Amino acid sequence: MMKFRSALLAGCLAVSTSLGLSACSSLPDEVDRAQIDAGSRAALNKLVSENSAARAINNQARAVLVFPSMVKAGLGVGGAYGEGELIRNGATVDYYSSFTGSWGLQAGAQSYGYAVFLMNDEAVEYLEESDGWEIGVGPTVVLVNAGVAENLSTSTLKEDAYAFVFDQKGLMAGISIEGTKITKLH
């Protein structure tokens, strides 16, 4: 399975380098939906149990997009890829891929997960109806770090979406310009 994911990441990187920022948009037969479900549910449960800000936001969110395992590598040009799902009212709605292309002074490899809590119906509709969501275009997304999390409360949640990065492993050093695209898998 790991060889397949590495080959899939390499393929996405090759395609994106020649065509610009893009993402793989079909769910290969070798990827088991049950595996994505299990990984996403475990990651979300761990995040909300260990992070009080994530727990508060999760209680207010209309839906959450969870990518439990992103793999990132780069040397000058880099990228990250992973699969996840949109969870609404406790049920899986759809499956998505997340692709990040980056360039700049960078070297290394790492894995991580992330969750995007969609706070209103407009943000959920934008994700479901768009032909791939580029973070930075469309709904406003706030990346929650420790400093921001301390100042969040249910009365201050005014943005369209809040993102949390978790379970970072490995080393990725450098300065880069990144763009993330989230695409529904068919």
14-69 per-position pLDDT tens digit: 434 333 334 444 555 556 899 999 999 999 999 999 998 899 899 999 999 999 99
Reported confidence tier of residue 73, pLDDT bands at 50, 70, 90: very high
The residues spanned by each domain of the chain are 2-184
Contacts of 126-129 spanning 24+ positions with Cβ under 8 A: 127/63, 127/65, 127/86, 127/182, 128/86, 128/93, 128/94, 128/184
pTM: 0.77
In the predicted structure, residue 95 carries a pLDDT above the cut 50: yes
Percent of the chain having pLDDT more than 90?
46
Whether the CB-CB separation of 135 and 179 falls below 8 Å is answered with yes
pLDDT at position 14 is: 40
∠ CA 11-143-138, rounded to 5°: 70
Whether the CB-CB separation of 102 and 176 falls below 8 Å is answered with yes
pLDDT at position 109 is: 94
Count CB neighbours of 119 within 10 A. 22
pLDDT digits (tens, 9 = 90+) for 138-170: 677 877 875 444 444 444 467 889 899 998 898
